[in-house]
Chains A and B, each alone.
Chain A
Amino acid sequence: MEQVKCECGHVNPIGTVLCEACGKPLEEVPVLLDMRYEGSARRSQTYNKTIIDKIWNFFSSVKVGVWLIVITLVASAIGTVYPQQMYIPPTVSPAEYYEQQYGLLGKWYYALGFHDLYSSWWYMLLIALIGVSLVICSLDRVVPLYRALNNQRVTRNEQFLQRQRLFSRAKVEHDETAWRNIVDKLTKRGYRVREENGNILAEKGRFSRWGPYVNHIGLIIFLIGAMLRFVPGMYVDENMWIREGEMKEIPGTNGKYFLENQKFIFEVYEKETEKEAFQAAIDRIGSGMMAKNYQTDVVLYERIGPVVAGEEPKLKKIKSFSIRVNEPLKHDHYALYQVDFKLDELKSMSFHLTDKQTNKSFGTITIDLIQPEKEYDLGNGYKVQLLSYFPDFYFDENGNPNTRSKVPNNPAFVFKMFAPDRPKGEVSFTAIRQTIEPLGNNKYKMAFAGIETRNVSALTVRRDFTLWILGIGGAIFMIGLIQGMYWNHRRVWIRRINDEVLIAAHTNKNWFGLKKELEGIFHDTPFVMPIDQADNRS
């Protein structure tokens, strides 16, 4: 391995700018030293032999890392130009929608995957490459930096000292008391003072230098957590709509859990029922305008025995619970959150079988709109058959009655009404505010008699085993940030050469703070306070 030997005797890795031990510049450098990474050799720059080295070196470049971030940012920005797929109408095909709405640009937007940016392979690849860049950049810098800081000697090369930003040089009589005094003051201010041959290195806050790398470790852990979401079983995110009185399998639980919705409650703030203190606020917004509570009272059941889908399940009650916003029902790492609702969905409709002439009623039928009966017998020879049922009725493009969905939003029925005087039956098409008698005039009709409604609640089913990893990653990220932000790595070198004393100081940030501190230390001493050479030069 190629190495560079400094005149102080220390052997440095090739590419080193400042000797790890004494700090002597080993290459041509500007007057004021660039102290980044202590002038250590960034490992990657040096060897470029194998393909592995080439890949490694590519990612080791901060420039490459920054470009990856810029490209990702630009892509993210473009992704906001047209709506993402989840916001376009669910009934249309995205391939057609983007082209129809936005023309050729829309077509390319879709073709390139901008319509579902976070799931497009190249966007994920970009994020992944940023992750790779993060790992390699960090590794390539933290190791040499650690080496350099670990190998640094107390006695520093003269050139190193005079090319620090803060530096002074003066003839000072040797005075042991004054010297001790300086050491004391430095120690009191939290510096660890090392002495060697009458020279001093005072250092504090080296720990701050690891902040960025700790921060990057946090980020990597966070990315790993995000990645684990794609491992089956680690992450469940499903939605379910459940009507009042309904019992349903909870999606995402593999048929293991069932839920019964006993009641959905929607409450608002009203003037009459709230305390005095809230009156002004209610006045401002309007009584009954502000939601107070969304709540679903549910019972959770567990299925017993083997799961055969569709089979009437044997259930064991686990618990009753009131799910409210931010108060999910939690069980077995699953959480059910309140997310949406629909008030007053039609539950049943009632009709009187009526003589159109006399308006006499021969009985009432109530039709369950989820599972209507085939036939309703009213006795005395009167009965009603349900020939067809359209829960969400419309006339399709051929002019035939049809249904848009299985949700009873706009129910319509084809009835066949039987009466003692109409033994063959009369056919009537009945929808809301609409009756058609396709086979000519009828004697009887189905007169609307009322409806029953119920509420529907929407719940999100979540199970997330990655959350704690994301939490740890986030916490480490913050620790790293704090570590690097609120501590400064400060060093003061004092070297005696013959009858001169050279003082230099360095910090990785907050030069003002360092200068104030040095003033406090060198004030009223024979030593000369270091001068900021960056000021002089400008």
Chain B
Amino acid sequence: MKEKRFWLRTVILAIMLAAIGYTIYSNVFVEKKAIQVGDSAPDFVLTDLNGNNIQLSDYRGKGVFLNFWGTWCKPCEKEMPYINSQYNVYKNKGVEVIAVNVGEAKVTVQTFVDRFQLTFPVVIDQQDQVMNAYDINPLPTTFLIDKDGKIVDIITGTMTEEDVKKHMERIKP
């Protein structure tokens, strides 16, 4: 009888603890995002400024530094030159950069790209499809994707050149 009561209480408490633990964990300690570190990066295909299709799955075997940005976003503007200069170092080491613009006019994006002489592919997400798939908010957000297409890390907010270098190092195949 006493045994039975002990186990009954233990089981009830354990069930409640598990439920509460899960709720609080999934709410507070996990970003409420459709996409998370460790997931495989959703494939996408977008057109760059030169009219070439850029498809993420074609980049298997290389690290991908996937940056979401807008021309009006000051932190994005600040980190763009850093990304550009580190790209020139790391592209020979198997790290690619794809910069996804969040659906601005092509003219606006082109002006920006020319101004900073960006050499990596810049694609425009005209229909917000890729933004939805990657659940983007806020800008800038950068996904570090390894050679197997897994998301290694998600970085929101601006990066220093040192940060960019460090992150590219992480996804070097």
Contacts and interface: CB of A to CB of B under 8 A. Distances in A.
A248 B72 contact: no
A280 interface: no
A249 B103 contact: no
B104 A406 contact: yes
B46 interface: yes
A483 to B, nearest CB: 24
B13 interface: yes
A310 B129 contact: yes
Interface stretch (A14-22, A74-82, A388-396): A388-396
Interface in A1-42: 1
A260 B2 CA distance: 66
Contacts of A254: 34, 133
A386 interface: yes
Interface residues of A, number: 51
A512 interface: no
B37 interface: no
A358 to B, nearest CB: 30
A371 B128 contact: no
Contact of A392 (B12, B13, B72, B133): B72
Given A132-B20, A388-B107, A309 B72 contact: no
Interface string A241-277: 0000001110110110000000000000000000000
A230 B106 contact: no
Contacts of B134: 309
Given A124-B28, A309-B43, A404-B72, A372 B105 contact: yes
A389 B105 contact: yes
A372 B107 contact: yes
A232 B135 CA distance: 14
Contacts of A281: none
Contact of A1 (B2, B71, B105, B108): B2
A124 B42 CA distance: 32
Given A248-B128, A255-B132, A309-B130, A135 B27 contact: no
A466 interface: no
Given A308-B44, A391-B108, A227 B23 contact: yes
A346 B134 CA distance: 29
B23 A124 contact: yes
A55 interface: yes
B27 A230 contact: yes
B103 A406 contact: yes
A371 B101 CA distance: 14
Contacts of A289: none
Nearest to B55: A308
A357 interface: no
B16 A249 contact: no
Q: Which of B5, B10, B72 has the most CB of A within 10 A?
A: B72
Contacts of B12: 135-136, 139
Interface in A283-325: 308-311
Nearest to B2: A1
A403 B6 contact: no
Given A309-B43, A309-B44, A309-B132, A52 B127 contact: no
A97 B45 CA distance: 39
A125 B20 contact: yes
Contact of A370 (B44, B45, B105): B105
Interface in A112-133: 119-121, 124-125, 128, 131-132
A310 B46 contact: yes
B102 interface: yes
A166 to B, nearest CB: 37
A402 B72 contact: yes
A461 to B, nearest CB: 11
B9 A53 contact: yes
A50 B6 contact: yes
Contact of B13 (A55, A125, A128, A308): A55
A338 B45 CA distance: 31
Interface in B15-53: 16, 19-20, 22-24, 26-29, 34, 42-46
Contacts of B126: 371
B10 A52 contact: yes
B60 to A, nearest CB: 15
A386 B107 contact: yes
A56 interface: yes
A248 B127 contact: yes
A356 interface: no
A131 B20 CA distance: 10
Given A124-B23, A406-B72, 18 more contacts: A47-B2, A50-B6, A52-B13, A121-B24, A131-B16, A135-B16, A230-B22, A230-B23, A230-B27, A254-B133, A255-B129, A309-B44, A310-B46, A310-B129, A311-B44, A311-B129, A371-B126, A389-B105
Interface of A: 1, 47, 50, 52-53, 55-56, 119-121, 124-125, 128, 131-132, 135-136, 139, 224, 227, 230-231, 247-249, 251-252, 254-255, 308-311, 369-374, 386-392, 402-406
24 contacts: A47-B5, A56-B9, A121-B28, A124-B27, A125-B20, A135-B16, A227-B23, A230-B27, A249-B129, A251-B132, A255-B132, A255-B133, A310-B45, A310-B127, A310-B130, A372-B107, A374-B107, A389-B105, A389-B111, A391-B105, A391-B108, A403-B71, A403-B108, A406-B108
Which 3 residue pairs of A and B lie closest in terms of their CB atoms, listed nearest first?
A: A309-B44, A309-B133, A128-B20
